[in-house]
Structure 1
């Protein structure tokens, strides 16, 4: 897996420019057409890596997308909501794709709502939407509004662009309401604990080096970190997700294991150690229970 791509790398290597100083002060936002980005000789597939910024993209045509340990085959048009926690890459069927995308940092959105609360940005959400040409038209109109706004001299344009980011997020949610598994209730104390648990869990991933190791693995360790009793944590997670603390941790570790087996050449013992297993045989047993196959068979 390639190292995390920063915004500076994105601008320098993909566009040949650097972000302006004003962007660094307010938190970064920018929007591009795919023609701006790909240039005359686009390079595909993209490296499988994590980015340190958010990205929303509408790219016309069929695609193959690898996101975490999942592979999506997009038949029509791809609407993608990528976040800094999850590594991904994509390859279009047409090597001169059309469409548009925006990139922004968490600092840019700070104080204007938490996009991580939306299902499209949650671990169990569906970040890749396959939408028809008819559905893609209004989304492209939103991007065109962004492109026009960012080119304007309006003093408060970056505030307006924030609202347009949320418009596209809501457009995605309306296009695929099935990805919202349940209504979002009022944010109570239990939900706050559940949210903090998921944040602690996700912050440990992706594993990008054989010297990187999970620090929190057991329910007791998470409970201690959150300063709650383990029984309370388990009850809260069971009520909000339908799963126990152990099940949620195991599912996330298994997901990372599949990604590492698929996208790195690390040996099994290295992957086991990174995921908190001192004994490789215990990792093999765990993986077989979670994935119904052995690590070697999954990789092959």
Structure 2
């Protein structure tokens, strides 16, 4: 049987999500396929069992198991179902729905939603049973007229995030325990806030460690030292990896010509972008685009 490109989550009414900020639903192979591959207006957390290929930004992940999938609205994604036997649960929610400082920090700091992070976490039978209970609880709460149901739903989402992080802890989780981690968190947040690039008329403005240091009102040496201490990687590497990831996304999933992509990413000349991209990825932008077609 030929594979079909589908969404691992059900075909939600996105209007309902935008209206209430939250939607949860059981999913199955009987749901109609969706061929949309692009950025969304909402976050997505899916608990699913199936044989699937996930295309997420510039990553391709093959899964034949039970797993959690975390989708950031700013990172294009699509899923190929190789078995048509998927089952599970999915929820969509807007950033505005995650009200309150504590919940927002869980979302913003999580490597599960960060570009270049780990959007897929395998779960065993015991973990799947616990998570299934949380999704069923959210479905029941969603149907109820409980006055504080939004807060209860947020708590369920936080439990899912904590459970996933406990299953796959990351050395890059920034807890802001000291000054170095605090400035690193601010740097990472400022870096991510520049994306996605939607128009060449609003190009990337912060592209060097010095740019970020000035925006954060700290000395560039202090920023570099803090980021290296907190993450193990230099500031320049974080910037280069994120620009390269956005460049790959634009090359794969837009019809922009290479010059437009170069200008959108803040390069003065396309040749500068070509040399930069080849140095980071080992491939020219044109050859990368042709290879991914």
What is the TM-score normalised by the length of structure 1? Answer: 0.82
**What's the CA shift for 1:51?**
1.9
Alpha-carbon deviations, 1:34-79, whole Å to 9, x = none?
25xx875x1333x222222222111220111111211111121341
* Equivalent residue number for residue 117 of structure 1: 109
Say which of 68, 93, 98 aligns to 2:87: 98
* Equivalent residue number for residue 161 of structure 2: 169
Moved more, 289-298 or 84-93: 84-93
Q: Distance in 2 between matches of 1:223 and 1:277?
A: 20
The answer to whether residue 282 in structure 2 is matched with residue 292 in structure 1 is yes
**What's the CA shift for 1:191?**
1.8
- Is the Cα contact below 8 Å between 1:62 and 1:78 reproduced in 2? no
Alpha-carbon deviations, 1:129-166, whole Å to 9, x = none?
24455643332222111112222233222222211111
* Equivalent residue number for residue 60 of structure 1: 49
Q: Distance in 2 between matches of 1:20 and 1:274?
A: 28
**What's the CA shift for 1:95?**
4.5
Q: How many residues align?
A: 279
* Equivalent residue number for residue 87 of structure 1: 76
- Is the Cα contact below 8 Å between 2:203 and 2:266 reproduced in 1? yes
Q: Distance in 1 between matches of 2:89 and 2:203?
A: 37
Alpha-carbon deviations, 1:203-252, whole Å to 9, x = none?
11122344442121122221111111222211211111222222211111
Q: Kindly tell me: are residues 231 and 292 of structure 1, through their superposed partners in 2, closer, same or farther at Cα, counting changes over 3 Å?
A: same
1:1-300 to structure 2, matched below 5 A, reads 14-15=12-13, 18=16, 23=20, 28-35=21-28, 42-45=32-35, 47-95=36-84, 97-111=86-100, 112-113=102-103, 114-115=105-106, 116-132=108-124, 135-177=127-169, 180-181=170-171, 187-299=177-289, 300=291
Alpha-carbon deviations, 1:80-125, whole Å to 9, x = none?
1122332222232244742111122223222243122233233443
3-state SS of 1:52 partner: coil
* Equivalent residue number for residue 5 of structure 1: none
Q: Distance in 1 between matches of 2:92 and 2:193?
A: 20
- Is the Cα contact below 8 Å between 1:237 and 1:243 reproduced in 2? yes
- Is the Cα contact below 8 Å between 1:65 and 1:91 reproduced in 2? yes
What CA RMSD, in Å, does the superposition of the two structures yield over aligned residues? 2.7
Q: Kindly tell me: are residues 183 and 282 of structure 1, through their superposed partners in 2, closer, same or farther at Cα, counting changes over 3 Å?
A: closer
Q: Distance in 2 between matches of 1:281 and 1:211?
A: 19
Moved more, 180-189 or 230-239: 180-189
Q: Which runs of 5+ in 1 are unaligned?
A: 1-9
Moved more, 55-64 or 122-131: 122-131
